[in-house]
Amino acid sequence: MQPMTRALSMRDLQKLSAGAIQALPHAVPIKNGTATVGVLLPVRSASQEYLRTVLARIDAASAEHTPAENAAIDRLLDECGGE
C-alpha cells in the first residue's frame, strides 16, 4: 500500500492489519477491478474534551427549541422507534 492511498484492491484489503487501517488518513474506496465495491473508513476515538464540547453545543441548541419543535422531534423519534 502506498502512503497516499487513493484506492485499495480486494487483494490489498486482505493483507491489511488493524493498525494499518487505523493509520489511513481518510476513507479509502475498495475496488474490484474498476468497480468500487465498498469504502474502508478508519474509526478513531474522539477526545473527551471534544465530546464535552459537542454535548454542550447539543444541550445549548436543545434548550432553544420551542414546544412545537420538541413535539415534532418526539413524533419523529416515535415513528423511527427512537427514545
Which residue shows C-alpha cell 465530546? 51
pLDDT digits (tens, 9 = 90+) for 9-64: 999 999 999 999 988 988 999 999 999 999 999 888 888 999 899 999 999 999 99
Domain boundaries along the sequence of the chain: 8-40, 48-80
Q: CA-CA distance, 5 to 42, in Å (whole number)?
A: 13
Residue-level pLDDT at 80? 84
Q: Looking at the DSSP assignment, which residues form a beta bridge with residue 28? A: 40
Residue-level pLDDT at 1? 45
The CB-based long-range contact list for 56-61 (8 Å cut-off, 24+ gap) reads: none
Report how many helices (DSSP H) and strands (DSSP E) the chain contains, helices first.
4, 3
